[in-house]
Amino acid sequence: MKGTARTTAAISFVNALFTGIGSAAGVSIPVDATVDLAPARAGARVAIDASADSPLTRAALGVALRRFAPDRDLKVAVSVRSEIPPARGLKSSSAVSAAVIAATARAAGTHPDASEVARLSAEVARSVGLSATGAFDDALAAVAGGAVVTDVRAGEVLRHERLPTDWGVVLYVPRSHHLPSTHWAEAFARRAAEGRAAGDLAREGRYLEAMERNTELVEAIVGLDYRPLRRELERQGALGCGVSGMGPTLAAVAPTERLPRLYEALPVGEAERWVVAFVPPTRPEGR
C-alpha cells in the first residue's frame, strides 16, 4: 500500500526551550513524503531515496513502523521532497519527520490525528539529538497548520486556532545554519524567568507580542542582532517581527497588501527573501 502526506514549514512565536511552553504557526513551504509498504518474504527491507536518506528519516520511519505496522516483515520504499531550507529556524526536521510518520501510517491503513503524529515526531527529534524539547509545537504546526501553543513537556495542546486571514509573512533567510537546540538548552534555561512572559502572552493568543518578547531574548542568547532591521520592517508596516527558532531566519508578519513593501525593505544579496502564507488549521485541537 502507498501512503502520502504533506506537512509545511513553521515560524516561531515562542521558543519552548525557555519554559516548555512553545508556540508556532504553519507557513506555506511544503514537505511531501511517500511511503510504499509491501509484504517481504525474507525479512524487512528498506529503500530510501538517496536525497532523503538521513538519520532523521530512518528514525521517523522506524518509530512509525513500530507504532503502525508492528511485527510485519515489509518491503519499504520512502521518498521525501522538502522545499524547506534546513537548519535555518523553519522547522525542517519536524516537518520531514512528521511527513514520513504520517505517510507510513497511511500506507499501513491507519489515520492518526495530528497530535499523535506530532508527539511521535517529537520522540524522533529527541532520539536523534536534534531537539532538546522534541519540538512538539513545531511538529503540530507543521502537520495541522494554524497557530499552536503547546506544553512540550506534557505533550499537551493549549491553543490551536486560525490566524487572521489577511495576514501573511515575509521571511529573511540567511545562508548560515543554526546549531541544534541541544547546544543552547542550558543558556535558554538560565533565562527561563524572562521567557515565561512570552509564553504567557502566547497562551492568551497575543502572538505578535509574544514574538517580540521571545525575539529580544533569543537574539541575546544566540548572538543575533536584528533590531535595526526589525524596526525598519515595522516602519514599513509589519505588525510584528521575530527570530524563528534559533534563527537565523527572521519573520515579519503583516497584512498581505503590505508584504511587497516589506520584501523590498529586506537587504539584497545577504539572504534569501520569501513571501509565504499562513497555513489554516486543518482541525483545531483545543484551546
pLDDT tens digit sequence for 190-212: 999 999 999 999 999 999 999 99
Domain boundary among 129, 158, 187: 158
85 domain-assigned: yes
For residue 248, say if its preceding peptide bond is cis, omega within 30 degrees of 0.
yes
Domain boundary among 127, 158, 189: 158
Same domain, 173 and 223: yes
DSSP string over 236-260: TT-SEEEE-TTSS-EEEEEEGGGHH
Task: Tell me the mean pLDDT in the region 236-264.
Answer: 97
179 domain-assigned: yes
pLDDT given at position 47 = 84
286 domain-assigned: no
Total structural domains within the chain? 2
Same domain, 19 and 130: yes
Q: Locate all alpha helices (DSSP H) within 78-191, ordered by sequence.
A: 92-107, 114-127, 136-144, 181-190
- For residue 257, the domain's CATH number is 3.30.70.890
Q: By residue range, what is the domain housing residue 217?
A: 167-277
Phi, then psi, of 134 in degrees rounded to 5: 95, -20
Q: 23 to each of 64, 109, 142, 208, how far by Cα in Å?
A: 25, 31, 12, 11
DSSP structure class, residue 162: P
Same domain, 147 and 176: no
pLDDT single digits (tens) 84-94: 999 999 999 99
pLDDT given at position 283 = 62
pLDDT given at position 42 = 63
Is residue 235 very low, low, confident or very high in pLDDT (cuts 50, 70, 90)?
very high
Same domain, 23 and 150: yes
**286 Cβ partners below 8 Å, 6+ apart?**
157, 158, 159, 160
Same domain, 191 and 108: no
- For residue 57, the domain's CATH number is 3.30.230.10
What region does 145 belong to: left with phi over 0, alpha with psi -120 to 50, or beta? Answer: left
Task: Tell me the mean pLDDT in the region 210-239.
Answer: 96
pLDDT given at position 270 = 82
14 sits in which H/E element: strand 2-14
Give exposure, 103-112, as e/b (b: 16+ Cβ within 10 Å): bbbbbbeeeb
pLDDT given at position 178 = 80
Q: 144 to each of 127, 201, 285, how far by Cα in Å?
A: 23, 22, 9
Same domain, 152 and 210: no
Q: Is the Cα torsion angle 224, 230, 233, 239 positive or negative in sign?
A: positive
Domain boundary among 128, 158, 188: 158
Task: Tell me the mean pLDDT in the region 14-29.
Answer: 97
287 domain-assigned: no
- Residue at grid coordinates 500506507: 107
Q: Locate all alpha helices (DSSP H) within the chain, ordered by sequence.
A: 55-68, 92-107, 114-127, 136-144, 181-190, 192-203, 207-222, 227-235, 259-265
Task: Tell me the mean pLDDT in the region 158-184.
Answer: 92
